[in-house]
Chain A
Amino acid sequence: MAQSEQVGIIGKGIVIKGNLTGGGDLVIEGRVEGQIALKNHLTIESTGNVQADIEADELTINGEASGNIDASSKVAINASAKVAGDIKAPRVVIEDGAVFNGSIEMEVKLPEDV
């Protein structure tokens, strides 16, 4: 598949069980179980439900996600999202209204006297 700026969309009624990998952006409106590894931006829409370990550059979550997340730039958990799992990313944003249970590992620079 062309690895240009194409956006892949997994529609609302689709269920995928397995591994997803790719270089383009991906929008998930349906259900994915397994593993996801993307080089770019993954968006889980409000109807989306992902039960998978995710590796991506940037992640925007409006729906449900459960699994470990490893992002190289940013994870945004928006107001309608429900996320459970461990997140490792340099930037993580949680909006008011989101539900999150798990751990977050960002780099925290503490002053020396703490």
Chain B
Amino acid sequence: MEREAEHMANTVIGSSIVIDGEISGEEDLVVQGTVKGKISLKESLFVEGSGIVEADIQTQNVEVAGKVTGNINASQKVELKSDCRVVGDIRAPRILIADGASFKGNVDMDAKGR
């Protein structure tokens, strides 16, 4: 019953899903719905256009096209795509903010991410 997300991932949180709690795992996660709480992954987090994340995020990579409110801590890279809205501090060795992205917070690219 897998539906294609923008990214190939085993785990997709669909657009009508609301999760209030903590998510952790060792695989990619695509969020098209709403997550409040905490996200901790060893792989990549993709917050798609419809995704709303109100959580502190700790992963390897993060790609945001939707809304994130919370601190992001990535060991490799954070990418804010155009039309996204992020409020919170970002800490990652590599950061890419596309034209059109909306971001408010601190950025820390100190190489000793995590």
Direct A–B contact present (CB less than 8 angstroms)? no
**Residues in A lying within 8 Å of B, measured CB to CB:** none
